[in-house]
Structures are given as C-alpha cells and as structure tokens.
Structure 1
C-alpha cells in the first residue's frame, strides 16, 4: 500500500471487495499522561500487540504517535482496522491491522453460549466484557481476544512487521475497546445490531437510549 492523502482514505474494502458492516470513529484527542487501556480486555489487546512486534523501537514510535494525536479517524469492520497515521513531518500513511474473523460455526457456538447466560448479554449492554464471558467462550472453542501473532500489520511505509503506524493504530484502538467491547466483536465479524438481534435482544438497545454507546461518525465526514 502506498502513501496517500486523507481525501483518498475511504472508498470501500482495501482489497476491492464490497464493504461489510463498518463503524468509523473520529480521531481521538492526544493521550498524554494516561494509559492507553484501562479495562482488562483493552490491556489484553495491547499484550497481543506487544507480544507480536519484533522491534520494541517501533512500539515506542507507535506510542509517541498515538499520544501526539497523529492517528486519524479509525475504521472498524470485520477482519480489518484502518486509519491514516501522520509522521511528525506530516507525511500520511494508511495503516491497516488484520484480525481473523470467527467462522460461522464459531459464531453459532458463541451465540448458543451467550443466549443461555443472561448476565453475559447484560454485561455487553453495559459496555463491559467480564472475564467469565471470555472464559465461557473459550470453553465453547471461541477465542474472542487476540493472542500473540493475531494482529497482522499492513502499511506502505516499508517497515516489515509492525511499524510505528500500525502500532499507533493498535494503541488507539485499545482506547476504543475500553469504551465499547462491541468494537472487538465487529472485528470478529458481527456488528452490534446483528449480534443483539441474533441473541433476541435487539429491542433492548436503540440509538439515544441511556447506556447506549455513542454512534460512530459518518465515514466520509470523519476522513475529511
């Protein structure tokens, strides 16, 4: 992938296919003086990144970029994260991080498990991902959280493995995961509305109701 300007940042799937469900989050303010992840699942996400990257210098560069607010709007869709990340000199790079989607069979097992445990659904609606939900999913043969090697980087900057741009994207996404674990479930292949409908609780969440997560911004507006 090559460098490009923000105006070219959004136009469908990077591989030329038809885009699936997608949420786009406006750029977050600089994260100076705070940890990137407060939740245990956000920290687990960063552990997967830091156990994957081979160059600690690139991780440090990523943290500096993320703290400086250099990560633009973040697009989240099944299997892929995308953002424009700017170097200190203003050069823009498209950074992508790929995450394996769950298979249809894995989703069936997860849904069967979650449907039988009302507490799991209630926790998700409260924007929480309790450890016992992840543990029960693992017992059903479903890994929700990524492990070492599961965050695959793609960037046109010429650095092999995770570069500062893909690392910055991952650090920024940890902040999004803190606020809404449905971001992880979308990465794994199901958006919030579809997932709740399949669990039979779609009526419980409607835009504007107390406790509902903020809606993503319009992708074209965010990238502009």
Structure 2
C-alpha cells in the first residue's frame, strides 16, 4: 500500500484507531471517506476535519453495507482502498450460556461477518482499479488469547486466516491484502483501556503504522514493535509464557 495518493474508505472510523488513522492518512495526501452509524458524529468529524468525507453505514446490517458501498463507489469512483476497521471487544463468561451467547453472536456479526460483507461489497470494484488494497484489521490477540475475551480472540484469528486465504485467491488481480495487527492501544475499545499503562498510546501507534506503510509498501502484515511479543510467541517457543504474561498483566482486557 502506498502512503499517499489513494482514495480510502474506512468504515468504523468515528473513534479510536479508525479515526486517528483516517486523519493521518488524509494528512498524508489521501482522499479519505469515513463510515459510521451515528450521523451526528460523522457531521462533527467532517466539520472538524475539512476534506474528509463521510458516509453512514452500519456494518452489522447487510443492507446498510450494500447501500453505503453503492454510494461510495458512485461518489468516489476512484476508490482503491478499503480498510475494514469496525470492531467490538467484550468480556464474556463462558460458565453458562446466558453469560456469553448473545454477546458472542454480536461480536461475530461485527468482527467477522462485517468485514466479509464489506469485502464482498467492494471487491469487484477494487479489481477494476489499476492498483488496490484491502486492509483487514486483526489483533495481537489473534495469536495469543486473553482469557476474558474468547470470541474477540477467535474472530481476530479468523480475520488473520481470512486475510492469508483471500491474498492467495486474489493474487491474480490488482488487489493486495494487507493485515493490520494492533496490540492493545489506548482507545475506548474496552472500559479503562484509555488509561491503561499496558496499552500503547494511540498517537504512537498510528505514527508507527504510518511509518511502516511508508517504509514497507509491499508488506502483507503491518506490525508495530509492541505486537511482536504476541505475534511470534509460537515461533520463538515461548507461547505459554506469552499467554501467562498477558493474562497476568492485562487480565480485564485493557
């Protein structure tokens, strides 16, 4: 992915990593369209960041995804990059079904079906561009589990393997698949995470991500240094220690 000159749609960019990345990509010389459910947030975001466009979208609603995709492609036919940012993280208790089932289903709908439906809505258009990128968003927890967030971990592991697989399928097209693998970052993804000493400062994370995109435009995985402890535990042979460490230092998911 090139650092500049793209037209980028980022559903799930009204807060946290998505919003910070949208602003950084816009500042780097890209046309950026953010997506979110709340039209009031979208209006304030575009007012605060002139030049950034906005489209209403609910990534848990298949009809909303189709409608938003049609609008984005009509209004921005030069669109060449999709970043599937929208996601949720929730604590679950799996001792009884009423402690986790409804929450788990919501997480799967948002974190896994959402990106799949988004890619389905845009993949044909992206193949028509001379060069295009789909950036998926997994997590360090795709590679080492946090005990209190089992379905989140599972959906992010699925996103990793989905990225690996569709990269193989689309190798004969103009579309590249890039996987962003955040560590814990100081956002409102989980209660208390914005104040967590364990989490990486948001500005530091986005700055490092932008540097990696610029220095390694052909990378298939974007990994800041903080996530490598989680990402490569099995390869290093210290996976049990990694799992013990994150569940001791960050037992509540932040």
Question: Is the shorter-chain TM-score for this pair beyond 0.5, marking a shared fold?
Answer: no
Higher relative contact order at CA 8 Å, sep ≥6: structure 1 or structure 2?
Answer: 1
Give the structure with the larger helix fraction.
Answer: 2
